[in-house]
Amino acid sequence: DTEVTQTPKHLVMGMTNKKSLKCEQHMGHRAMYWYKQKAKKPPELMFVYSYEKLSINESVPSRFSPECPNSSLLNLHLHALQPEDSALYLCASSLGPINSPLHFGNGTRLTVT
Amino acid sequence: GQQVMQIPQYQHVQEGEDFTTYCNSSTTLSNIQWYKQRPGGHPVFLIQLVKSGEVKKQKRLTFQFGEAKKNSSLHITATQTTDVGTYFCAVGGGTSYGKLTFGQGTILTVHP
């Protein structure tokens, strides 16, 4: 079991759809992350929020739009995705942004058709 | 950002055999973290190493950080089927706070 909750667990969307992934933690962590993971590959960092401000954007295409409404919530808004965006999207949190272990959610398995 | 090479990519062992995965960097690391991801699961934090030459143990798992802080290893003694999964090392991004970069991972298969 994980203390980082992600919804939905699975998502299938067409290339013209708009959808959102949600992530929630109640551990008082002040850094939250989005990672993308393809099969048999390591997680790749997409975004980092530190104290509710976007601190890192790893040159992610604008069809992915992150949002941090408060210190416990993290969203990833999806629009006009491509089939190659199909992957496991992992949310993580850590106590702070520096050298703190990451706590991952179970992930959202996204399929773009 | 900092990068790390992890080997081997795959390791198949018989239950009871030992297993080791290695991570190597060309630059000095401030710290290194290790994660385990079970098939179909998410990465789970195992340990963080900070000090030069540090050795930490968790039951059958032994973690080492090199004297020069450029390499690290994870050793499992007498593997069990529950050890199956992918083991990742991960390193921080120096001045890029929050940028944790994962090694390629070692996929461990344990045959009963």
Cβ-based contacts of B21 with chain A (< 8 Å): none
Say whether residue B103 is in contact with chain A using an 8 A CB cutoff: yes
Q: What is the pLDDT of residues A58-80, one digit of tens each?
A: 999 999 999 999 999 999 999 99
Of A40, A41, A99, the CB nearest to B92: A99
- Report whether pLDDT(A29) > 80: yes
What is the structure's pLDDT at B99?
84
Torsion over CA: A35, B1, A40, B112 (sign): negative
At B83-101, the pLDDT tens digits run 999 999 999 865 556 688 9
Task: State mean pLDDT over A39-57.
Answer: 95
Average of per-residue pLDDT across B14-29: 96
Give the gap in angstroms from C-alpha A41 to the nearest C-alpha of chain B. Answer: 6
- For the CA atoms of B16, B102, A90, B50, the dihedral, rounded to the nearest 10 degrees, stands at 80
Residue B78: the pLDDT is 98
Q: Are A101 and A94 in contact (CB under 8 A)?
A: yes
Query: How many beta-carbon pairs under 8 angstroms link A with B?
Result: 60
Percent of chain A past pLDDT 90, that is, above it, reads: 94
Of B42, B97, B103, the CB nearest to A104: B42
Q: A9-25 burial string, b = 16+ CB within 10 Å, else e? A: eebebeeeeebebbbbb
Q: Which of A42, A98, A104 sits opposite B97 (nearest CB)?
A: A98
Lowest mean pLDDT among A29-33, A97-101, B18-22: A97-101
- Quickly list DSSP for B84-112: -EEEEEEEEETTEEEEEEE---EEEEEE-
- Cα-Cα end-to-end distance for chain B: 40
**Closest residue of chain A to B41, computed from CA coordinates:** A106
Give dist(CA A72, CA A70) in Å, integer.
6
| A99–chain B Cβ distance below 8 A for any pair | yes
Check CB contact under 8 Å for B107 and A40: yes
Question: Which among B88, B98, B103 has the least Cβ separation from residue A48?
Answer: B98
pLDDT, averaged across chain A? 95
